[in-house]
Structure formats: structure tokens, C-alpha cells
Structure 1
Amino acid sequence: MLEVLGTAPSPRPDDGDALKVIAELSRRAERHGVNGLLAFYNHRYLDPWAVAGAIMQSTATVSPLAALQPYALPPFTAAKLIHGMTRLYGRRVDINLITGAASEELGQLGDSLDHDQRYERATEYAKVLRALLSVDEPLHHEGRFYHYRGLRAHSWLPPEDRPRVFVAGSSPASRRAAEEVGDIAITHPEPVDQFAQTFLDGSRTVRIGIRVGLIVRDTDEQAWRVAHDRYQSDRRTRLKTAMRRKSDSDWSRRMATLSADVHDDVYWTGAYQADKGSMPLLVGSHDRVADYLDRYLALGVDTLLLGDLPTEEDFRHAGAVLADVRGRIKL
């Protein structure tokens, strides 16, 4: 079974009618059968929990995948938010557990933990959060990062309503965290053959998901015309990409190291090179992109987290590809 999630718009706080923008895309995603929408996190944009609430208010079936940054929200507060939203809207809220790749944001908060330590904190965080949502008794916890003595959050949820934990990252530390507390390990993949030798180089006990953008049209030429018009790099973005090769983030380094050239006639890092997204793009005709996605699924990927699909036309073409891929799974 292939699960498909999209990405919600996350306007800046002063960007026009943000609620209207989020509501319109959420309803469009629902019409096209998207299972959920990622509300992502950074300091510049609306809080993901505000976006998650707007998604649930605007739709009847779409579940938010809210980015959860441990330094930004104590597990007790997260448990109360998740419990409240689930009860109010009658559907699950999933979480995308992140640790922070922007050094300037970490520095602003005085977060001095190194890369692996942040994943250790995230692992403990997820354990505490799960306990608060699954046990209706006082919580006693003495860990490295969190300490609770008889905490009663009143946030118990039945098993079917508890959030799934997506663990974002591609480093060994992220993979350890996913194996320990995750339901789905989510990453930005490399070209499919390289991906098989890196991220999928060991045994797995959790599901695997990838985040990619799709630019699909009736022909390869039409798709590439849209891609190049939409994502144009310049000297500033090329310099920024070169600097990211020394990033603390494993997947930032991987994306920066891959050239902007086309790989396998489909895979392209144009959005990353233009500083307009961190995910790779799959570009081409319906058949060509469906064939490429099918190769990822053959490796065990069963969850797709799609990047921006800004227009009805983008949704329509992506929907045709996903219908093709799902049809192959049923055969």
C-alpha cells in the first residue's frame, strides 16, 4: 500500500491571507486523494501547529503531519496539543520529528548540542511523548534531557488515534533514532541506485519514506520547461549551495554534493540549487516519472512525501503518475 502526503504552504506571518492560502491548498489535496499534509518548521514561517489546525479546520479527511522540534515545544505541551486537536477534529495528528539543520536558528536559542546529541534528545522526547499519550497514569521519568515526577497530563488517546512518528534525516544518528522510536523514517533520497547503497544499506524494522518534488507534464520537454522556469539558480544560490557542503546536516551535505546535472534523465536537484527547497525533483512525462518512482518502491519505500504542488495542473499530472504507480502495486 502506497501512502502519499503533500506539503502545506507555510506563509510568513505577514503574507496576506494565510488562512485562505492554506485552506485552498488543503481542500485541493483532499480532492486529489492526498492522505496528509506536512506543516514544516523554521523560525521564519507560521508555527506548524497553527498550520495543522488550519488544515483540519478546512478539510474532513486530511491529517496534518506537524513538524515537531524538541527545543521549541516541551513534550508535555506537545501531548496536550495533539490530544486537543485529535479530540476536536476526530482524526489523527502525525508528527515529523526533527532536530534542526539551521545553525543560525540553533545559535539564537543557545542550543549547543551537537548533531548526534540532538537525535539522542529527540529519541528521549519521543519516548516521553508516547508515554503521555498512551498511559493515563502519573509519569515518572528521569532521563538525560527530561525529568518528570508524577506528571499527569490527562492526554491519553486510544491506540488508533495516537500519532505516528516520522523521523526525518539521513545520517546514522537519524537512522538509529528511527529504529528506536519511529514508525516511518523519512529522508530526501539520492538518485535511486545511489540511494540503495547509502540510506538502504542495512536492515530496517521501520517503514521508509522519501520526500521528493514532482514536475510532470504530458511530455519530457514540457516538464523540463516548467522545471527550468520555476527553479533558476544564480551566483548567490550557487555560492550558498557550495557552503552547504560543510553543513552539519547530513542530507544538506548530500544534496549540495550532488551536481545540478540531471541524473538518470529524471532526478534533478534544481530546487535545492536555486535555494527554493531542500528536496530533489523528479521531472518528466507521466510514464518516465512513474517508472522512476517504481524503482524506489521496489527498494521498499512505501511512503511519498511530496513537495509543493502549487497549481491544479501540478496536482492533476502528479495524480495521474500516482494512480499509475498504485495500479502497478495492485498487479
Structure 2
Amino acid sequence: MSIEILGMIATTAGSESRRLDGPLVDPQYVRDFSRAHEAAGFDRVLIGYSASAPDGFAVAAAALHATDALKVLIAHRPGFVAPTIVARKLATLDHLTGGGRVAIHHISGGSDADQRRDGDFSAKRDRYRRTGEFIEVLRTALTAAEPFDHDGEFYRIQGGFSAVKPATDAGIPIYFGGLSDGAVEVGAAYADVYMLFGEPLADVAERIAAVRAAAAAHGRDVEFSLSTRPIVAATEDEAWAKAQRIYEETETLIAQNATGNTLAFTAPAQREEVSVSADLLQRHARASDVHDERLWLGITRLTGPSGNSTAPVGTPAQVAEALLKYYDLGVTKFLIRGFDPLGDVVQWGDELIPLLREGARLRDEASALQPA
């Protein structure tokens, strides 16, 4: 297997525990944040999506032009832009930024209120089918050597064709997330990478098995990504004390937001509808604040259904080993973002990321020595 480390960039500083600081779109912060990820050894960064956030394609272009090799993962919500147009946007950006650095992450859910801000009043049960059809047309547009027609439930194309194709043979990797039955079917049928939240190990093993079985029915293999929020310090006691400070800071900020005394932080919209993924995280949080020795769900319980919020806590070596247990289950891509977004990226580059890569390498070597 091959491990890949993903981060997440934003256009201004802030998190659940930190007050938003600066203009909504801060070009220098985007450049600094992107370069920090590259210097720390990240492979790729996610640009989140919501109906009120800055445009992800523009942010991705800024990040790509500020770095030499860092790749991007652009979150996109099907239903508002035709898949043929998105295909040309992706392929054009791929060519303009050196080739092989652009991927897309499809979000089918999000809250109904956020969907409606962009004029989408569709039912959730329809969105996953629409996403599957969107990806089907997107792939065709990115690869078809001749004009094509498509007559589906959500899209009708006559003579569709993109003169611009991806810049490399690797194409445009397609990421996807969601845990409802409809989501699993779409992700298994169409995704290259299936994105999972940081649930306890046993639950992630079940998710992987279910998706693999569904993908096998389509004659496909799917890779897996896991999203967590590492909290790292020199000693384990210091790490748990840091987690407690983050909890208290978040609690204070929530109270200030409720009274209108500070700028609110809006969690990046990479989640599906609350009733499935986020609700599962809430169930885990209600059961216990800590799972698998160091997977902390205190912020998950405090902030409610807000997507990626589970945090492995400990020394760099302890957190790396906790994450590598997911690698043993088949997760090859780890999306990590911090509560101190820029500071954590710099810190992780010193120890956590090298330890993750070395641990994966040692596991791969040991696996290669095992009899077939």
C-alpha cells in the first residue's frame, strides 16, 4: 500500500476553538497555509464547500500556484453546475498547474438549509442518485474521444465533448463520502477514494468491509481515506491537558457566538446529512468521550453534528500508532486538520508525519515478507 497525507486549507484563520481572525478571504493566509502544508510533507489539501463559503476552484488555483508539488482536493456539491462544465474546469486547472495535482470530492448531503441557499430543494433520497449520475457523466467527459449523448434521470447531454482532457494518465481522482445505503452504493460504483470519518476501529472495519463488498459487486476496488483531528504534545499528560484547553476554548466560543459577541466559526461542509454520518459520531460520543484508548470525542459531543471532529490524543509516536491501526484495516489516506490550523500543520511536519510515513513503510516491508 502507499500512504498519503491530506490536510485542509481555509481562506482565513479560525476553528471551533479559535475566533475567526482576519478577512474572509485573506490571499496571504492562503499562500502561507498552502506552503506550510507542503513544507510539512503533506501530499494534498482539501478545500471545503458550503453554500456561503468562498469558491473552492479559485482557492485551489491560489494554493496550487503558491506551491510546487502540493495537490488539491476540491469539494463539490453536484446539482448546481453541469458535469460537463465541471470536467472542463478540472482538466483546465490540471493543465495550468503542472498536471496530476487536481482531484474532486463529491458531497451529496449537507443540511437542507445549506442546499436551499443555492436553490436546491431536492430530497436527500434523490441526491445520491444524482451524484452517481453526475460522476458517470463527469468521467465520460474527461475521457471520451468522441462526442457523446447521455439521457438519464437528472442529466441530458447531446453531443457532449471536452477538448481538454486531464494533463496526465492518472486523470482526475474522484473522492466521495457518505454512510447511508444510497451513499454506499454510489461510492462503491463510482468513487476512486471513499472518505470516512474517524470512528472507532471496529466501526471503520465494518464500513470498509461493506464498501468493499458493494464495490466488488461492480467489479471495482476502492481506496479509503480517514479524517481526524490529532492533538499532539511532548508527553501524553500534556496532550490530554491540551485537549481539555481546546474543549474549554470551544465551549467559551460557542457561548460567545450564542450572544453575538464574536465572529462565528462555520465548520467546513464536507459532511453528509446529519441523520447518518454525523449522527453516528454523536452516538459514539454519547457512549464515551474516549474510544480505543486515545480517540477523543469530547469536541464531537460539544459541537454536535458538524462532521470531522474526532481526535486521537497523545505523543507524536502514540498518535501515529493509533492512526496506523487504521492503515492495518486498509485506510491508505489520512486527512488531518488541527484546532490551531496553521500551527498544528507546522508541528506535525516535525514528527507526526515522518512517523506516519515510516510506520507505513515498515508495515509494508513486513507484509511483503509474509508468505503469499
Q: Confirm or deny a common fold (TM above 0.5).
A: yes
> How many residues are aligned here?
324
Structure 1 counterpart SS, 2:317: helix
User: What per-residue deviation string (whole Å, max 9, x for no partner) do you get for residues 112-133 of structure 1?
Assistant: 3333321110011011111111
Superposition pairs of residues 119-130 of structure 1, within 5 angstroms:
119-130=128-139
C-alpha deviation, 1:227, in angstroms: 2.0
Superposition pairs of residues 231-310 of structure 1, within 5 angstroms:
231-232=247-248, 234=251, 248-259=274-285, 261-275=289-303, 278-279=307-308, 280-308=310-338, 309-310=341-342
C-alpha deviation, 1:26, in angstroms: 1.0
Closer/same/farther in 2, CA of residues 315 and 228 from structure 1, 3 Å limit: farther
User: What per-residue deviation string (whole Å, max 9, x for no partner) do you get for residues 240-286 of structure 1?
Assistant: xxxxxxx6441111112222611122111233334396221111112
Equivalent position of 1:244 in the other structure: none
C-alpha deviation, 1:51, in angstroms: 1.1
For 1:261, the aligned partner's letter is D
**Distance (whole Å) between structure 1 residues aligned to residue 168 and residue 68 of structure 2:** 21
**Distance (whole Å) between structure 1 residues aligned to residue 276 and residue 208 of structure 2:** 11
Pick aligned residue for 1:215 from 225, 231, 237: 231
Closer/same/farther in 2, CA of residues 97 and 303 from structure 1, 3 Å limit: same
Q: Kindly indicate whether the alpha-carbon contact (under 8 Å) linking 1:26 and 1:58 is maintained by their aligned counterparts in 2.
A: yes
Q: Kindly indicate whether the alpha-carbon contact (under 8 Å) linking 2:201 and 2:326 is maintained by their aligned counterparts in 1.
A: yes
Closer/same/farther in 2, CA of residues 152 and 193 from structure 1, 3 Å limit: closer
**Distance (whole Å) between structure 2 residues aligned to residue 236 and residue 254 of structure 1:** 25
Closer/same/farther in 2, CA of residues 278 and 321 from structure 1, 3 Å limit: farther
**Distance (whole Å) between structure 1 residues aligned to residue 118 and residue 275 of structure 2:** 18
User: What per-residue deviation string (whole Å, max 9, x for no partner) do you get for residues 133-170 of structure 1?
Assistant: 11132121101000011123323235525211011122
Q: Kindly indicate whether the alpha-carbon contact (under 8 Å) linking 2:176 and 2:194 is maintained by their aligned counterparts in 1.
A: yes
Closer/same/farther in 2, CA of residues 267 and 298 from structure 1, 3 Å limit: same
Which structure has the higher relative contact order (CA within 8 Å, separation 6+)?
A: 2
Question: Is 1:87 aligned to residue 95 of structure 2?
Answer: yes
Equivalent position of 2:184 in the other structure: 175
Q: Kindly indicate whether the alpha-carbon contact (under 8 Å) linking 1:218 and 1:285 is maintained by their aligned counterparts in 2.
A: yes
Equivalent position of 2:264 in the other structure: none
Equivalent position of 1:2 in the other structure: 3
Q: Kindly indicate whether the alpha-carbon contact (under 8 Å) linking 1:30 and 1:59 is maintained by their aligned counterparts in 2.
A: yes
Superposition pairs of residues 35-114 of structure 1, within 5 angstroms:
35-92=43-100, 93-114=102-123
**What is the TM-score with the length of structure 1 in the denominator?**
0.89
**What is the TM-score with the length of structure 2 in the denominator?**
0.79
User: What per-residue deviation string (whole Å, max 9, x for no partner) do you get for residues 29-75 of structure 1?
Assistant: 11122111000100232111111111111011011100011123221
TM-align CA RMSD: 2.6
Equivalent position of 1:243 in the other structure: none
Pick aligned residue for 1:153 from 159, 162, 166: 162
For 1:293, the aligned partner's letter is L
Structure 1 unaligned spans of 5+: 240-246
Closer/same/farther in 2, CA of residues 16 and 128 from structure 1, 3 Å limit: closer
Q: Kindly indicate whether the alpha-carbon contact (under 8 Å) linking 1:76 and 1:132 is maintained by their aligned counterparts in 2.
A: yes
**Distance (whole Å) between structure 2 residues aligned to residue 318 and residue 116 of structure 1:** 40
**Distance (whole Å) between structure 2 residues aligned to residue 152 and residue 199 of structure 1:** 35
Structure 2 unaligned spans of 5+: 13-19, 216-220, 259-272, 366-372
**Distance (whole Å) between structure 1 residues aligned to residue 231 and residue 99 of structure 2:** 31
Structure 2 counterpart SS, 1:119: helix
Q: Kindly indicate whether the alpha-carbon contact (under 8 Å) linking 1:170 and 1:188 is maintained by their aligned counterparts in 2.
A: no
C-alpha deviation, 1:7, in angstroms: 0.7
Mean Cα displacement is larger for which, 92-101 or 271-280? 271-280
Closer/same/farther in 2, CA of residues 26 and 149 from structure 1, 3 Å limit: same
**Distance (whole Å) between structure 2 residues aligned to residue 325 and residue 221 of structure 1:** 23
Question: Is 1:32 aligned to residue 61 of structure 2?
Answer: no
**Distance (whole Å) between structure 2 residues aligned to residue 102 and residue 131 of structure 1:** 29
Mean Cα displacement is larger for which, 47-56 or 147-156? 147-156
C-alpha deviation, 1:222, in angstroms: 1.4
Superposition pairs of residues 10-21 of structure 1, within 5 angstroms:
10-11=11-12, 15=23, 18-21=26-29
C-alpha deviation, 1:17, in angstroms: 5.7
**Distance (whole Å) between structure 2 residues aligned to residue 266 and residue 287 of structure 1:** 12
User: What per-residue deviation string (whole Å, max 9, x for no partner) do you get for residues 63-97 of structure 1?
Assistant: 11000111232212211211211111112310001
**Distance (whole Å) between structure 1 residues aligned to residue 353 and residue 205 of structure 2:** 26
Closer/same/farther in 2, CA of residues 320 and 157 from structure 1, 3 Å limit: closer
